Chain A
Amino acid sequence: MQDTMMKRASELLADGTVVRVLGWKNGEFVYDPTPAVFDSAEALAQDFVYHDFCGSNLSKYLIELSRLEGKTLVFLKPCDSYSLNQLLTEHRIDREKVYIIGIPCDGKLDPDTVRSSAEGILSAVTEGDSVQVETMYGNVTLNKADCLLERCTVCKSHKVVVFDEMLGENGTVNPDSNRFDMVEKLEAMTPEERYEFWRGELSRCIRCNACRNVCPACSCEQCVFDSPTSGVSQKAAADSFEENMFHIIRAFHVAGRCTDCGECSRVCPQHIPLHLLNRKFIKDINTYYGEYQAGAEAGSRAPLVNFTMDDCEPNVIYKGGSK
């Protein structure tokens, strides 16, 4: 796949369709690839990589890149294409300045899980249901299902929803993904248990802002939390309230626009399951205002900037049922 992508990118660079390519290059280790911009075939040949650790969502980078002169080529996985569609809906990206190549995805690896079973990773290659990990101390074979990112274990869609061309076969939406299972489990707890659960998770927050910075929906030029009067300071929280407030407001600001790409949980250095907050909003929106998948089609109106005359009253949550 990497070679096909590199070949196609070089062709498009050569014929002048695009002037730069947004892809991934390896970081310090093979398991921490980072988004990177390439502007020549030589740069591509030198650094461009695509493997099963390339989980990061490239859509957000296009906000900046589509403001530059010339077209940008971007490789989008199904998850990323939903984010891009949502950004197009919000007029954050100029579609004319982006050339999208869709790439199929059958799940990305969670570096932490792989590292817990294999030290000194040199490469990891997926073959069917297993992952062949080459390490400094020999080869290890892992079961792929065990080392996927959380979002991939409950994948909502294998379909790239926006592209100029596809490399490989486009997949389909998976309506039976059980991504709300954990949310339902939490909802079934008593408020005391839920409070304890969330204190346990959120109290680990170090306010590194990684979730905010990586989130394709968090694309404001100025963020409310950068204001010194926001009530949330830009450092490790001294008080439990700040973590709650930060995460509630962040989840609220992306409610109805979150495509559930799972980047927040992927980048969290403290492994806080932030996707559970976003999924709660998605589930509520589905229950109260009808099924809605942000980014599924460009131009759709997000549920929280919309209304109907006969919406349920806020007290519906006291009854614990749908309207």
Chain B
Amino acid sequence: MQVNQEFRPKIVAFCCNWCSYAGADLAGTNRSNYPADVKIIRVPCSCRVNPLFILRAFQRGADGVIMCGCHPGDCHYTTGNYYARRRMTMLFSMLDYLGIEKERTRVEWVSAAEGAKFAATMNEFTATIKGLGENKRLEDLRCKTQ
């Protein structure tokens, strides 16, 4: 039996319902390719993403977490992503301060019309995570499968 030795990262993408999730949909309708390693979680707004969600994703074995939302100024709820922007800046800065590779976390603003940008972002992010390898610094061994 042939075993696939290539490292396939687990990537969690939090996408806001109104822009980025629709952007991902558009990427699909346009037949733009992006890796199947990206698991999308739909949230009502980027502001819904609690910092704990991101740490939880890492705990459960994610190798990279990306948060996508409407462009600042375009939020469906007017101001949600402005709060999210401050929050994520603080959280990522703290992760970096604790020595967890900052490249594993990212925020991108993707509108519903930017299917191509969504695919490009995910391709690039997956490549970065592949380069970094498995996430060793923020993982809970008890949550590991096998």
Please give the residue numbers on chain A whose beta carbons come within 8 Å of chain B beta carbons, in ascending order.
186-187, 191-198, 224, 230-231, 238-239, 241-242, 244-245, 248-249, 251-252, 255, 277, 280-281, 284-285, 288-289, 303-309, 311-318
Q: Smallest CB–CB gap between A273 and chain B, Å?
A: 13
Would you give the 0/1 interface string for B5-20, flagging 1 where the beta carbon is closer than 8 Å to chain A? 0000000000000000
Q: A248-B55, A281-B90, A305-B83 are in contact. Are A198 and B98 (CB under 8 A)?
A: yes
Chain A residues near B87: list those with CB within 8 A.
304
Chain B residues near A306: list those with CB within 8 A.
86
Is the pair B93, A309 in contact by a Cβ cutoff of 8 Å?
no
Please give the residue numbers on chain B whose beta carbons come within 8 Å of chain A beta carbons, in ascending order.
51-52, 55-56, 58-59, 72-73, 79, 82-83, 85-103, 106-107, 137-142
C-alpha gap A187/B96 in the complex (Å): 9
Chain A residues near B59: list those with CB within 8 A.
231, 241, 245
Chain A residues near B58: list those with CB within 8 A.
241
Specify the main secondary structure of chain B where it touches its partner: helix
Specify the main secondary structure of chain A where it touches its partner: helix
C-alpha gap A198/B138 in the complex (Å): 12
Chain B residues near A186: list those with CB within 8 A.
97
Q: What are 8 A-B contacts with C-beta separation under 8 Å?
A: A193-B99, A231-B52, A252-B51, A277-B97, A304-B87, A306-B86, A307-B82, A313-B85
Q: Smallest CB–CB gap between A322 and chain B, Å?
A: 11
Chain B residues near A224: list those with CB within 8 A.
52
Closest-by-CB residue of A relative to B85 is A311
Is the pair A280, B97 in contact by a Cβ cutoff of 8 Å?
yes
Is the pair A309, B73 in contact by a Cβ cutoff of 8 Å?
yes
Most buried by B among A241, A251, A277, A288: A241
Is the pair B138, A241 in contact by a Cβ cutoff of 8 Å?
yes
C-alpha gap A52/B44 in the complex (Å): 52
Q: A307-B83, A309-B72, A314-B107 are in contact. Are A248 and B99 (CB under 8 A)?
A: no
Is the pair B92, A314 in contact by a Cβ cutoff of 8 Å?
yes
Is the pair B85, A238 in contact by a Cβ cutoff of 8 Å?
no
C-alpha gap A198/B98 in the complex (Å): 6
C-alpha gap A268/B11 in the complex (Å): 36
Is the pair B96, A317 in contact by a Cβ cutoff of 8 Å?
yes
Chain B residues near A288: list those with CB within 8 A.
89
Chain B residues near A192: list those with CB within 8 A.
99
Closest-by-CB residue of B relative to A193 is B99
Q: Smallest CB–CB gap between B48 and chain A, Å?
A: 15
